[in-house]
Structure 1
Amino acid sequence: MTSSAQTERPALRFVCAPSLFGSEQEFPALAAFVFVAIHAVAIPFIVSYPTAAAVHAILTAAAAILFSFAPAGRKWVAYSGAYICGCEVLWRMSHAPLFWEFAKYAIAGSMLISLMSGNVRRFPALALTYALLLLPSNIKTIAALPLDRAESEISFNLSGPLLIAVATVFFANIELDARDFQRIFIAFLGPVAGLAATVERDILGQTKIVFSTESNPLLSGGYGPNQVAAVLGFGALLAALLLVYGARTTALRFALSIVAILLAAQSALTFSRGGIYCMAGALLAACAVLWRDPLYRRGIAAFALVAALGFAIIGPALNSFTSGNLAERFSDASLTHRGDLISEDLSLWAQNPLLGVGPGMAKAWHLTGLAAHTEFSRALAEHGLFGLAALVVLAILAWSRFKDARDLSTSAICAALLAWTFLYIGANAMRIAVPAFVFGLGSATFLPALSGRFQLSYSDDEVRSIH
C-alpha cells in the first residue's frame, strides 16, 4: 500500500512500510483459524483427564527443548514459550500431575539451552543483576523452614523473576519480523481459545449459579478466577493489537474483533477485574504512543468504535445473566484484600529493612494468611533493600527497552507489553509465566518489516536526478 506526499522536491515520496499485516508479511489467516479451532475443540476434552493434560504438557515441553538444540530453532523456542504460557492455566485447571511451576521452568530451560547452543551477541547485564539481587534473602527462608518447604517457597516466589532474567537475555538475542510476531500471538491464542471454550462448557453445565460481587470459580472453569481472567484478557489484548496494527481484509478485521470481544467478555464474566483492567491499561498505553501518528488514528478510532459497540451489545446481556452483579462488581473501586496485604508488607519491610523476611515468608505474618498479591510490596517485605534495588533495576530495564525502540510501531508494542506486565504483577505478583515471558519479549530486536510506519524511498532515476 503506497501513499504520496507533496514536497518541495517531487523526486521524494513516502512509502507506507509493512504493518503487522503488511503485504510483504501476509497473515496466514487460514492456518491460524485451523490452529485456534482445533484447540477450541480439543482442549476441553484434554483438561477433563489429568493424565492427558500431563502428556500434553510433557510433549509440549519436550518439543520446546528439541527446538532449543536446533541451529535455527531459536524462533521456534519463542513460539513454544508463547504456547506454554497459553497452556499453563489449562494444565493447572486439569489437576495434571505436574509440579506447580512446570511451565516457567520449561520455558526458562528451553531458552537457556538455546542460548548455550547458539551465539549470544547481547547480554543485558541488568537482567542478571535483577535476579541476583533477589538471592541474598533466601538465607532467611532456608534458616526458618525445613529444607523441602524452603525449596518450595523459594521456587514459587523466584521462578517468575528467574524467567524474567532468562527471557530478557533470550529475546535480546533474537530478531523478529512481522510474521514472527504473528506466530507468537497465534501460538498463545490457540490454547486461550481452548481455555475460553472450557470455561464456557463448564458454565453451560451448571444447573444453578449463585452470583455475587466476588470472583467466582464456577465462572472460571472451577479454577482461580484471577489467573483465568488474566490469560483471557491478555488473549483479548493480542487480538486487539493485531486488529489495530492494520488487518488488511474486512473478514480478518471482523474475525479479530469478535475474538477480542468474546475473550474480554469471558474474562469479565469471571468477576475478576484484573483481566479487563490489565488489558485496558495496555491498550491505552499502546494507543497513547500510536496516536501521535495520524495514520494510526483511523485504526484506533475504528477499534474504539467496535469495542464500544461490542460493549453496548454484550455488556447488558452479561449483566442481565449475572442478575446485575457484574456491573456492581466492576463499579467497585476497592482493592479487596490487596490494600491490607500491601500495608502489612510495608510494615514487615520497616521491621526487616535489609533482607526482608525471606521469599515466601510474608504470608506467615499476614492476618489472612494469604501470599502477597502485589510483586512490588512482596519484593520489599521478603527481600528488603535488595528487593527495592531489584525493582529499580527492573524499571530501568523496561525504560531502556522502550527508549531504544526504533520507531512509533515498536514503541507502541513495547508500551503495551510492558504496561500489561507491570499492571499484572501489581495485582497478582508472578503467579503465572505470562508476565515474565511478555517482559522478555519486549527486549526482542524488531526487524524493519515490523518497525517503521514510514520509510523514504527513491527510484534509481530519482536518485540520479537528486544528485
Structure 2
Amino acid sequence: MEKKELSYVFLIVLHVFLGILIFLFPAIAKLYAVSIFGFGFFYIIKTKNKNNEVLISSAYIVSAEVLLRMTDGMILNEVAKYSVLFFMFLGMIYSGFSKNAFVYWLFLLLLIPGVVLSTSSLDFNTDIRKAIAFNISGPVCLGISSIYCYQRKISFEKLKDIISSFSFPLITMLVYLFLYTPSIKDVIMGTQSNFAASGGFGPNQVSTLLGLGIFIFFVQFLFNSRNRLVQIINVGFVLAFAFRGLVTFSRGGVITAVVMILVLLIVLFFRANYNVRAKIGTIIILAFVAGVGVWSYSSLQTKGMINKRYANEDALGRKKQTQLSGREVLIETELEMFMDNPILGIGVGKNKEIRKKETGIDLPTHNEITRMLAEHGSLGIVDLLILFLAPLILFLNNKQNILALSFFTFWLLTINHAAMRIAAPAFVYALSLLIVQIKIHDQTEKITD
C-alpha cells in the first residue's frame, strides 16, 4: 500500500473515531467546528494558497456542516457559508481570480435590488437581518465561490484531493447516524421523512449530504483505489451511504446521487477508448446489482415502507395526492408572486410572509429557482440564465473537468428540493467551473485496475 493510501486509511479511522466521540460527548462538536475553521485558516495562510488549499478547506467544512448542525456544534446557523466566503476571499488575495469571472460579479450585483427592496417591504415584527441572511447567503456563497473557481486551472490529482477532503466529515456523520439509530426497524412508522433515522435533524438536508457521500465514494472507488483494500473500503462506504440515505425517507439526496453517477459514467464512456468502455459497462452492471441489494436490505429493514415511499404511497398503500410532499403549494405561491411582481420581485425573504398571510402556510421556500423568480423578478431570470449557461458553455469549450456535469447536476437537483439552506450546492456548483488539466485516457485507464 502506497504512502498516500496509508494516509487515506488512517484519516478514515480517525474520522470514524471522531464520530464515536461526538456521539458520546456532544460538546466535542463545538470544539470540532472551531478546529475546522482554525485549521483551515492556518493551512491557507501557511501555504499562501499555492495549491488551492482554499478548495481543500472549503470542501471539508461544507461536508461537516450538517453533522455540526445536528449535534449543535454550529455557533451560528450559517457559519459554513460564511467560512467558505472567508476562505474564498483569502484565496483571491493570494491567488487572484480570472478577469472572465465578471459574469458572476454581474450575478451578485443583480441580487442587490432584491435585498434593498426587502429592507422596506418586510414586516416590522420580522428579524430583517435573519430573513435576508437565510435567503441570500446561499447565492452570495455561490457567487463568490464561482468567481474564485471560474477558469482556475488545477490538476486532476488536486481535484482528487478535494474529493478526499469532502469524504472525511461525511464518514464522521455516517458513524454518528449509525450510533444514533442503530435499529432502523424500531423507528419506521410510516412513509414520511424520518427524523429519527436522520440523527434527529432535517431528513432533507441529511439526505442531501448522504447522497453526496454516495457520489464522493463512488468517485474514490473509480479514481483513488489502486489498492484492493482501499477499493473494498470505498465500495463499502458507497453501500453504507446508500442505505442510510434511503432510510431517511427523503428521496432527493438519493435520486440526485444516482443521476450524478449516471452523468459521470456517460461522460467517461464518450471520452474513453474501447477497453475502458468495457470496464465502464462492467461497473454499471455491478452498480445495478449492488443497488438492488441495498434496496432489498432497506426494504427488509423498513418492513416494505421504503417501497411505498418511492411509489408515493402512504403506509396503507394508498396513492398520495401530492407528488412532491406538499412542495407544489410552495412553488405555486412563489410563481404567483413572480407574476404579480415581475420586474423587481417582492424582495428577499418576503415570500414566507406573503405565503403565510395568503395561505396560512408558515414555511420557507424549498425551491431556489422559484424563490429567485418571486424575490428578484426579472433580475432573477437573468441570474438563473447565468447559473445555467456559464458552466455548460465552459464544459463544452474544455471537457477536461470530467466531474463538471455531475457537480452541476448536484446543484441543479438539490436546489429544487432543498433550496440553498446549506453550503454544499453553492460550493459544489463552483467546482464545475474549474479547468482541470488531465490526460483523459491516462485517468480512465486507472479505473479500478
Q: TM-score, normalised by structure 2?
A: 0.88
Larger Rg: 1
| Range with greater deviation from structure 2 (51-60 or 118-127) | 118-127
Tell me which residue corresponds to 2:296.
316
Matches of 2:186 and 2:237, distance apart in 1: 27
After TM superposition, give the deviation of residue 280 of structure 1 in Å.
Answer: 1.0
Distance verdict in 2 for CA 1:391–1:443, change over 3 Å: same
Matches of 2:379 and 2:421, distance apart in 1: 21
Matches of 1:48 and 1:246, distance apart in 2: 32
Deviations for 1:353-388, whole angstroms, at most 9, x for unmatched residues?
112111121122333221111110010011111111
Deviations for 1:228-282, whole angstroms, at most 9, x for unmatched residues?
1110110110111233348444433333222112111111111110111111111
Runs in 1 of length 4+ with deviation above 4 angstroms? 47-50
Tell me which residue corresponds to 1:402.
395
Structure 2 counterpart of 1:84, one-letter code:
I
1:55 aligns with 2:31: yes
Q: Is the 8 A contact 1:167 1:436 kept in 2?
A: yes
Equivalent runs, 1:205-224 vs 2, <5 Å = 208-224=186-202
Structure 1, unaligned runs of 5 or more: 1-25, 456-467
Distance verdict in 2 for CA 1:338–1:48, change over 3 Å: farther
Deviations for 1:308-328, whole angstroms, at most 9, x for unmatched residues?
222233322211111110111
Matches of 1:97 and 1:196, distance apart in 2: 18
Structure 1 counterpart of 2:207, one-letter code:
A
- Equivalent in 436, 440, 460 of residue 426 of structure 2: 436
1:425 aligns with 2:415: yes
Paired residues in the alignment total 426
Matches of 2:185 and 2:310, distance apart in 1: 25
After TM superposition, give the deviation of residue 171 of structure 1 in Å.
Answer: 2.0
1:335 aligns with 2:324: yes
1:377 aligns with 2:370: yes
Q: Is the 8 A contact 1:127 1:164 kept in 2?
A: no
Q: Is the 8 A contact 2:23 2:179 kept in 1?
A: no
**Partner secondary structure for residue 291 of structure 1:** helix
Q: Is the 8 A contact 2:184 2:302 kept in 1?
A: no
1:98 aligns with 2:75: yes
Matches of 1:173 and 1:415, distance apart in 2: 15
Matches of 2:97 and 2:85, distance apart in 1: 16
Equivalent runs, 1:191-340 vs 2, <5 Å = 191-204=169-182, 208-245=186-223, 247-292=225-270, 293=272, 294-332=274-312, 334-340=323-329
Matches of 2:208 and 2:285, distance apart in 1: 24
Matches of 1:40 and 1:225, distance apart in 2: 22
- Equivalent in 379, 391, 398 of residue 384 of structure 2: 391
Q: Is the 8 A contact 2:66 2:206 kept in 1?
A: yes
Q: Is the 8 A contact 1:406 1:452 kept in 2?
A: no
1:355 aligns with 2:331: no
Matches of 1:311 and 1:207, distance apart in 2: 20
**Partner secondary structure for residue 136 of structure 1:** helix
Q: Is the 8 A contact 1:47 1:93 kept in 2?
A: no
Alignment root-mean-square deviation, CA: 2.4
Q: Percent identity?
A: 24
Structure 1 counterpart of 2:219, one-letter code:
L
Q: TM-score, normalised by structure 1?
A: 0.85
Tell me which residue corresponds to 2:335.
346
Deviations for 1:160-191, whole angstroms, at most 9, x for unmatched residues?
11111111122236432233122211111111
Matches of 1:123 and 1:28, distance apart in 2: 35
**Partner secondary structure for residue 187 of structure 2:** coil
Structure 2, unaligned runs of 5 or more: 313-321, 444-449
